[in-house]
Amino acid sequence: MRTIENKIKAEADRLGFSFLHITHSGQTPHYPAYLRWLADRHTGEMGYLLSERVKHSRGEPADLLGKARSILVFGARYTPLTQTLPPKHNQQRPLGQIASYALHADYHTALKQAAKQLMSYIVQEMGKEVQYRIFVDSSALLEKDTAFMAGAGWIGKNSLLITPETGSFQVLGCILTDLDLILDKPFSKDLCGSCQKCKQICPTACITENHNLRAEECIAYLTIEYKGVIPRELRSKIGSWIFGCDACQNVCPWNHKSQAQAENNTNLLPLVLTPGVDLLAEIELDELAFREKYAASPILRATHIGFQRNLIVAMGNSGSSACLPSVNSVLEENPNWLLRLHAAWALAALHPPDLSQKFEKALSIEEDERVREEIRLSLSECV
Ligand code: SF4
Ligand code: SF4
């Protein structure tokens, strides 16, 4: 006879989840390491991670439900797409890259819907009321560590959960329940071994020794969460990434091993965008057009201004003189100082023959001291 745990896993599989494991609702094994990471202040502007409420719920997830007894932790696989971009861009129409997960339907909505369907099935099977709460990509829980504790996989050197069967191209979620279920065993191995590929490829070298990141230097943070001036020394390292970064996942051998068998398991997260964004067309989108284009995608999280800032940095990194008119127009005419500041940097990076004249003209009309300082710095580096 099939156990309720086996029935739940079979239903999760039928719904399209890449895995479902069961664990307890107590503290996860890497919680003390997480507190040390917080103390080292690698959170960038994600100040919410430092709040007592978040620290408490991450340490005592059971309190999120009052009387939680178990956590169902699940993943949903998406198709890796940035590996397949042509290595050399068309210099007349340079492309920006979007992390693969963001080319799919917004996983927050899709996973929550599927998790609700799963809970309806469980309630029906149990024949009684079940207390539960669903979390998807929530700061309230240490999701990756919970998945590790539930035996789904291990946390790789790039800080992502890697499952041996499906790799790391997946998004995670948890359901806290008051059900007493038979728990899965924690994952006991670190299968990274002596591999260093993610550390070697990381453009900003932000992967630290202890399977963690200096998040404030990670391109995924800089292009999504962070809304301010991108540190000058990191701008050239961002390359063509305009939303997120897949570099450390693309090189991971576990993603190559799992790719073939995982291809069929993406039905929860359909593709909504194609990889490779035309930077010159994209910079022309006004806020309304941006919101319409990305209505079904997590890209809205970057905000229109944040996304435009990323486009300008990617233009500066493109080496394409085709970007000069757009960058120059932002510098001279855009009402947003943040965009003008990054445009000044991008113009210097593209280095047109008349750069000094362009900067002198910009200085003659620029009133914001932050932008003027960027222009002066760029000018001093060019001479
Ligand atoms: S996402 Fe990119 S920047 Fe961040 S750790 Fe991975 S390779 Fe480095
Ligand atoms: S690239 Fe290598 S070191 Fe990095 S997460 Fe994958 S297996 Fe681990």
| For residues 105-119, average pLDDT | 94
In this structure, which residue's CA is closest to atom 4 in ligand 1? Answer: 218
Is 252 close to ligand 2, i.e. is its CB under 6 Å away? yes
pLDDT at 360 over 50: yes
Do the bridges between strand 154-155 and strand 132-136 make them parallel or antiparallel, or are there none, so unpaired? unpaired
Nearest atom in ligand 1 to 201's CA: 7
Q: Which of 130-134, 172-176, 254-258, 312-316 has the lowest mean pLDDT?
A: 254-258
Is 219 close to ligand 1, i.e. is its CB under 6 Å away? yes
Q: Are 186 and 148 in contact (CB under 8 A)?
A: yes
pLDDT at 83 over 80: no
What token pair was written down for 70?
Answer: 């178990």
Is 198 close to ligand 2, i.e. is its CB under 6 Å away? yes
Distance 162 CA to ligand 2 centre (A): 9
Q: Is 137 a catalytic residue?
A: yes
Nearest atom in ligand 2 to 197's CA: 1
Q: Among all ligands shown, which has an atom nearest to the Cα of 215?
A: 1
Nearest atom in ligand 1 to 249's CA: 6
Separation of CA 99 from chain center: 7
Q: Among all ligands shown, which has an atom nearest to the Cα of 194?
A: 2
> pLDDT above 90 covers what percent of the chain?
73
pLDDT at 132 over 90: yes
What token pair was written down for 198?
Answer: 């993610």
User: Which of 213, 224, 240 has the most ligand 1 atoms within 8 A of CB, as the residue to mutate?
Assistant: 213
How do residues 159-207 score in pLDDT, each as one tens digit? 999 999 899 999 999 999 999 999 999 998 999 999 999 999 999 999 9
Residue 245 to residue 266: CA distance in whole angstroms: 20
Is 155 close to ligand 2, i.e. is its CB under 6 Å away? no
In this structure, which residue's CA is closest to atom 6 in ligand 1? Answer: 248
One-letter amino acid of 336:
N
Q: Are 153 and 77 in contact (CB under 8 A)?
A: no
Closest CA to 110 of 343, 267, 333, 309: 267
Please give the model's pTM, rounded to 2 decimal places. 0.91
Max Cα–Cα distance, the chain, nearest Å = 81
State the alpha helices, DSSP H only, in the chain.
4-15, 31-39, 52-59, 107-126, 143-149, 197-201, 219-220, 232-235, 247-250, 253-262, 279-282, 287-293, 304-318, 324-333, 337-350, 355-365, 369-382
Residues in the chain, total:
383
pLDDT at 321 over 50: yes
Indicate the SS3 state at residue 136.
strand
Q: What is the pLDDT of residue 11?
A: 97
Count, in order, helices (H) and strands (E) of the chain: 17, 9
Q: What is the pLDDT of residue 283?
A: 98
Active-site choice (40, 106, 137, 286): 137
Query: To 5 degrees, how large is the angle CA 236–CA 242–CA 246?
Result: 90
- For residue 337, the 8-state DSSP code is H
